[in-house]
A and B are shown apart, each in its own frame.
Chain A
C-alpha cells in the first residue's frame, strides 16, 4: 500500500515539473526585448476602405510580425530600415520599408487571382498558381458554411470529383470517394493530417473546427509522392496555427433540431387497411387467412387481442414471460413515428490562438452532442487540440500538433446488425404490424408474436434495451517537428508523428420474449482494441530562384512508418442478473460454459524514400516531377515499389500573344502522368496460415456433446510474390481566370487505370475454402472529368455575391477480374432472393443483377404466348427472354423461349451520370446568405426493401400504395404485381427493384448577421440560422435517394454494394442556430 502511495506522489511531482517547465519555456519564448527599436502602427483596410482584420504583417527575413485587429489597426516594434510585408488571403501582398515615419496605413488590393494562395501539397507547400496536378483546395471558410460532425460531410459538393455518402445516423462515418472507384476492396483515400499520413478514415474523431484548409490530391501527378497509399487519392488536412499578435479567443457554437424526414405515412398504419390487404392476398390465391392469425376472423374484423389472438383473454392471468397478453391497437401503431423523434444537436468550440515573434500557439477544445432522431441514438465527442511552434534562434523552428479526442456513441449498430441490415431498426419499422401495440397489457414490450405476424423485432424494445450498448473511442494524433534552415533556401525538416487509438464496445443482449422469433437467453459481448502507428518523416528541401527566370525547387526525403494493432474480446451468456453492474466477463456471473474469448493483431511497416523536383521558367513553363520508392512489410518477395510522376504546365496567359486578351488574367494548361500504388493487403498475406477455432475446425470426435477436440486447417492461402498494385493515371487540365479573377474556371479530364489490382480473387471451390491470397490480378479503369467554376461579383460597397459550381462525371469499368472469369458476384451480404450484385467485365463495379422485368401479365393468352417462365400467371411479373444456354451451359446470345439464368444480366448501375454542386453566397451589408444545392443524376438504387414493403415477405407491413397500385382485374394498369400469397415468383431479382434515384437536394441554406463590434466584449460576432436537407426532389420511392454504402462498417467490400437500399437511416432535416464570436 505504501509503495503505491509513494509512486503516485512521484507521478504528481513529475507532472508538476513538466507543467512548470512548459510554462518556463513559454515565458522564455514569449518574452521579447529588443534595445534599438521603434514602434510602427497604422490601419489596414480593404479596397473599399473597410477595416480588414487578420492581415498578417511580417518583418521580412524574420519571423517577427503581427496581425491586424478587428478595426484593422496594428502595432509592431521593429528596427528601423526593415521591410514589412502585409499579406492576406485573396489580396496582393504589399511590402514597405520602414523609414522614420512610424505610421503606415495601407489599403489592400484584391489579388487578380486567388491562385496566389500557398497550399500544402505533398510534403511541401506550393503556390496554387504553380500547381500542375489536379488539386482541389477547400478553405476553412467554405468548410464552415455547413455545420456537421465530420469534415468529410462538409466536403460534399465543394470539390469536383469528390463524392460523399452518409446516412442520418449520428456521427456515422461518412464515406468519401475520389474520382470513382479503383478497387474491389478498400477505396478510402489516404488522409494526411498536418503531415502525418493516416490510413484509417479519421473523419469522426476529428474536430472540424480545427481545420484551416483541405487539399484533395485527385490525380497521380499530385498524389504520387505518397505513392504507396495514394491510389484512392489523398486528402491533406492542415489544422489551424497561431498567428502573430495578441491572444485571440473564438467561440463557435450551434444548437439545432433534427427532424426525421417527413415520410412517416408511407406504410399502412390502419389495421383495417392491413386486414384488407392480407385478405385480398389470401383470397386471390384461393385461401382464407388461418384462424390462428390475428386477422383470421374475417376481412375487416380485428381481434381484441393479438396474442393470444382472439376477442377474449384473462388479463388477470397475465405473467411475463409465460403468459404474455397483447391487446391490439385498433388505431394502428405508426412504428416509424414511434422510433423517430426530433432531437437536439449541439456543438461548442473554443479556440485560443496567438503568437509572438518567437512562438505561436493554437489551442482548442470542443464538445459535440448529436442526439439521433432514432430513439436513444447519440454521438458525443470531446476534443482538445494544442498546436504550438517556436523559433529557436533564426534558423530553427520547433513545433508540435496534438489532438486528443473521445467519442461515445450509441447507434443503430449497438442494437443489431446496424444500418442497412435486415436485422436493423429500419427494416423492423417496415416489418412490424400496425395492429401490434408498443406495450402489452402488463406494460412490457409487445411484439408481432402471433402466427401470421412478422418476424420483426419491436424496434422500441430493441432500442430501449440497447441504450447502454455504448462504444467508446479514444484517439491521440499528433506530431512534433523541427525545421532547420541550413542555408538560405535549404531547409531540413524532421517530423515524428503518432496515431494512437483505443476502441471499446460492449453490448448486452436481452431476452425478447415479445417477438415471434424470440430469444430467452441473455449475453454480454465486449471488444477492446488499440493501435499505434508512428511515422517518422525527414525531408531536405532546396528552393532557389536562379537569375530572374529559373525557379527551382528540389526536395528529398524518407519516411519510416510502423504500426501495430491488437484486439481482445469475449462473450458470456446466461447471466443471473441483467443489471448493468454485472456486465463483465467473469464466469461467476453467468454460465461459465458459454464463455468465448479471442484476440488478434497485426503489425505493418513501411519504409520510403522520395524526391521532388519543381522547375519553372519565366513563370510560364512549369515542370514538376516526383518519385517515391516504398518498401512494405505487407509483401513477401516483392517488398519494394517505385512510383514516378511527372506533370507540366504552360501558363498561356504569360505569352506575348495573349497580352491583347486582357480580360484573361490567367490561363494555364496542365498535363500530368503518374503512378500510384496500393499495398492494402492483410498482414501475413505472404504466408500460408493455419488455424481455426471451435466453430470452424474443432469437432466433437469423442461424443462429449458439450466439448470439442482441437483441429486445425489451412485458413488463409499466402502468396509471397504479391506486389504493389499500380494505378496509372493521366490528367489534363485547364485553369482559367478572367476579369481580374472574378471568374475562375477549372477543368480536368482524366483516366485512371489500375493494373495488377490487389484482390483475393476466388479460387475454384475444389481448392477448398481457405481464404485466397491477395494477388495482383484485376484491372479497373475510371474515366471522367471535373469542372469547377466560380464567379465573384461586387455590385457595390454593400452588396457582393459569389457563385460556385462543381460538376463531375466518372465512368468505372472492370477490365479484368482474374484473367479468366467474366464476372463475380459481390460478397458480404446474403440476399434473400439470390444473387443481386455483379462485377462483370465491361461494366462498372457493383452493377445490379437480375431479370429484366417487362410489365405484368395481363391475360392467359399473354402467358401462353410468352417464353416458359416459372410461376407465370396473370397479374405476375413478366420477364424478358434475352439469351439461352447451349448443351454445355454456355450462353448462345439467342433467346431460347425459356426464362432462366441465361436471361439474367446487368439491370442497372448505382453510378451517377454526373453529380453537381451549386454554392451561392450573397453578402449584403452585414448579412450573409449561403445556399448549397447538390444534385446527382442517373444514379440508380436497387431497392431491396421492396421484398418487404411491396411483396410483404414475412407478413411484413407494406406501403400504402400496395392497396391502390396492385394489379387486379379491375386495376389492370397497376404497377405492382397482383396480391397473391402464392406469388413468390415476382420476388426474384429483377429490374422491378431498380429505380432511378436522381435527386436535387437543398443541402444547406444559412443566413447570418455579423455585428462589427459589440462593446468591448466581442471583437466580432456573427449569428446565423441554418437549415440542412430542407428539400429533396427525387422520383425515388424509398426513404432517401442517397443511402450510405451498405457494409461501410465492415470496410472491405463496401463498394461492391453501392446503391443498395437495405433499410437506410435516412438523412435528417436540421434547423440550427449558431454563433461565431471572437474576443
Chain B
C-alpha cells in the first residue's frame, strides 16, 4: 500500500513540473489561419491584390459587418438609382425600410445602409493598401509597377465611390495608420495621383480580363475630371481611351449583359461575378444586387426590388423620327401603340413582353402592383441557360458582371465634354454611335435578340433614329447627351449622381419627376423631395461616433443633417 502513496506523490510532483514549464504549456498558435510572414512572396502579394478586387461587389459574406448587404452593392443601386427618377425601391411597403427612406429623401445618418457602404469601401481601400505594404516589405517581387498600379487603381476607385456619395471623406494610402483622420482634405488630387500612377504603370491589356488596365485608368481619370467639371482634362483622358482602338461597342445592346459577351470589347472595367465557384450560396454572384429579381414568374421567387419608374419607361418613347421626346416624353404614359426605343425591353420587364426566355412578364411577377407599379428590373437578369445559383430563393445569383465603366459610358462622357467645350458636332457623332448600336437588336418573341422589324414582335413598335440634323444649340445638345445617358445607362447606378453633378437634381426630381410620379404611385406623396442637403449623403452616424478622439468626432457631418 505504500506504493500507492508514492504514486500519488509522484503525480503531484509531475503536476508541479508541468506548471513549472508552463511557458511552453501556454503556447497556443492560431489555427486555420495564415500569418503575414507566410504571404511575403510573389504568390502572397498577388493573392492580397486579388482580395482587394474581391471587395468590388461590396460584399464579403460577412453578415455581421454588412447587415444587410444591399447598401454595400458595388452597383450602387441603392444610392445611385433608387432616389433618382428612373426607379423605385420596389417590392412592397415596409420591406427594406431603409431603402425606402433613401427613395423618399428621408435621409438620416443613422440609416445602417450608409454604414454598410462606408465599411465596404474602406475595406477595399484597406486591402489595396495592405497589398502595397506587403509588396514593399517582401523581397524579390516581380512586376511591382503593375501590382502597385492595380492596387492604386482600386484604391482610387473605392475612394471615388465614397467621394461621390459623401464628398467629405478621408483619404487613406498605404502609410496612413491613423484611422481617425478628419474628413477635411480635398481628396481629388489624391485620386488623380493614383489614377495617373495606374496609367503610367498598367499595361494596355492584361492576362486576366478582370484586372485594371491602362485604358480603365484613363477612362476613370476622365470620369473623375468630368465630375470636377474640368472638361478639357476629362476629354484628354477619354479621347485617349477612344483613340486607343482597344474598345468598341458590341453590336447588340443586350450583349453587354450576357455571360458570353460581358468581357467583350465594350467592357472597360467591371465587377466580375461568379457562381458555383466553391461558395455555398453564390456569394460572388452579385449578392448585394439579388433583391432586384422579379418576385414571380416560375423561375424567380424573390424579391421584386428596384422596380423601374413609369418615368423611365416613358423616357423610351420616340417621335416619328425615332428620336427621344426630351421635353414631352412624360405627358402621357407609354402605350403599346407608341413607337419606343427597344432598349426599354432590355432594361424593363413589362407585362406581355417576353422576359428573355422566361416567358412573358405578367402581373403575377409583381409583389405589390397597386403600390409600386407594374414593372420589373430586367437589365441584369441572366437567361435561364446562363450560370446562376440559389440560396434562400431561386436562381437569384448570376454571373452577369456589373460594369463600372463601359465603352458606351465613355462615349457619352466624352460627348458631354465636347458639348461643354463647344464641339457639338463631335458630340452628336458620339451620341449617334450609341444610338446606332441601340438600333442593333430588340427583344425577340422567342426570348432572344432579333431585329427591330421582326414580325414576331407584337407588343411594341421599336424605333431608334439618329440625330441627323447638325447640333447648333448648346443647350439642346447638352439635353440630348444627358437624355441619351438616362436611356443607355438606366438602372446601372449612375442616374442620381449624374443629376446631381449636372446641378439639375432638385429641379428634375421634384418638378419633372415627383410632381408627376406621385399621381401614379401615391406612396411618393410622403417624399420630402430633394432639398439642398441632399446634394450629399449624410455620413453614417456610427462612423462619426467611432471617429471620436478625446470625445471629439474627427469626421464632420455633411451640412444639413
Contacts and interface: CB of A to CB of B under 8 A. Distances in A.
B546 A762 contact: yes
Contact of B210 (A494, A600, A701, A714): A701
Contact of A601 (B25, B32, B112, B126): B32
A710 B48 CA distance: 9
Interface string B247-272: 00000000000010011000000001
A11 interface: no
Contacts of A835: 110, 112
Contact of B390 (A520, A699, A701): A520
Interface string A8-25: 000000000000000000
Contacts of B63: 830
Nearest to B543: A765
Nearest to A557: B15
Contacts of A701: 50, 53, 208-211, 272
A607 B26 CA distance: 7
Contacts of A716: 33
A684 B93 contact: no
Given A765-B115, A765-B118, A766-B122, A695 B51 contact: no
Report which residue of B111, B210, B280, B528 has the largest number of chain A beta carbons within 10 angstroms of its beta carbon.
B280
A275 to B, nearest CB: 15
Given A517-B393, A764-B546, A834 B22 contact: no
A396 B366 CA distance: 80
A598 to B, nearest CB: 9
A863 interface: no
Given A700-B273, A834-B98, A887-B559, A517 B51 contact: no
Nearest to A601: B31
Contacts of A518: 301, 393-394
**Chain B contact residues, majority secondary structure:** loop
Contacts of B545: 821-824
B118 A705 contact: no
A634 interface: yes
A212 to B, nearest CB: 25
Contacts of A393: 1, 4
B130 interface: yes
B15 A494 contact: yes
Interface in A792-834: 820-825, 827-828, 830, 832-834
A762 to B, nearest CB: 6
Contacts of B523: 285, 982, 984
Contacts of B11: 482, 494, 538
A591 B61 CA distance: 22
A568 to B, nearest CB: 11
B483 interface: no
A714 B278 contact: no
B123 interface: yes
B283 interface: yes
B331 to A, nearest CB: 23
Given A701-B210, A704-B274, A953 B393 contact: no
Contact of B108 (A689, A767, A770, A900): A900
B420 to A, nearest CB: 34
B181 A560 contact: no
B547 interface: yes
B170 interface: yes
B48 to A, nearest CB: 6
B123 A768 contact: yes
A698 B273 CA distance: 11
Interface stretch (A287-295, A378-386, A660-668, A775-783): A287-295
Contacts of A705: 259, 273-275, 387, 399
A530 B276 CA distance: 29
B117 to A, nearest CB: 10
A396 B9 CA distance: 12
A1035 interface: no
Contacts of A604: 28
Nearest to B559: A887
A215 interface: no
B50 A710 contact: yes
Contacts of A288: 370
Interface string B403-435: 000000000000000000000000000000000
Interface in A567-602: 571, 573, 591, 593-594, 596, 599-602
Nearest to A832: B97
Contacts of B542: 762, 765, 824-825
**Chain A contact residues, majority secondary structure:** loop
Interface stretch (B222-230, B437-445, B548-556): B548-556
A764 B542 CA distance: 9
Given A689-B35, A690-B39, A870 B106 contact: yes
B31 A684 contact: yes
A609 B22 CA distance: 11
Nearest to B272: A700
A104 interface: no
Contacts of B281: 695
A935 interface: no
A987 interface: yes
Contacts of A560: 15, 18-19, 22, 25
A689 B557 contact: no
Interface string A534-573: 0010101000000000000000001010100000000101
Interface in A843-901: 870-871, 885, 887-890, 900-901
B139 interface: no
A377 B205 CA distance: 59
Contact of B546 (A291, A821, A890, A988): A821
Interface in B99-117: 100-101, 104, 106, 108-112, 115
A913 B81 CA distance: 49
Nearest to A394: B1
Interface string A692-714: 11111111111111111111111
B233 interface: no
A906 B92 CA distance: 29
A1033 interface: no
Interface in B141-159: none
Given A494-B12, A517-B302, A536-B15, A699 B28 contact: no
A691 B60 contact: no
A698 B54 CA distance: 6
Contacts of B62: 696, 769
B189 interface: no
A762 B207 CA distance: 39
A955 B198 CA distance: 51
B455 interface: no
Contact of A769 (B65, B130, B394): B65
Contacts of B101: 870
A632 interface: yes
B127 interface: yes
B368 interface: yes
Contact of A763 (B31, B92, B546, B556): B546
B278 A708 contact: yes
B1 A713 contact: no
Given A702-B210, A768-B126, A820-B551, A694 B543 contact: no
B272 A699 contact: yes
B51 A712 contact: yes
A631 interface: yes
Contacts of B273: 700, 705
A421 to B, nearest CB: 13
Given A698-B54, A705-B273, 7 more contacts: A308-B364, A607-B26, A705-B274, A706-B276, A712-B48, A763-B179, A870-B106
22 contacts: A451-B295, A451-B363, A484-B5, A484-B9, A558-B15, A594-B280, A605-B27, A606-B26, A687-B33, A695-B60, A697-B54, A702-B208, A704-B274, A705-B387, A711-B54, A714-B127, A769-B60, A820-B548, A824-B542, A870-B101, A953-B95, A982-B526
**Among all A-B residue pairs, the 8 with the closest Cβ atoms:** A684-B30, A889-B557, A768-B126, A711-B50, A695-B61, A695-B283, A711-B51, A633-B28
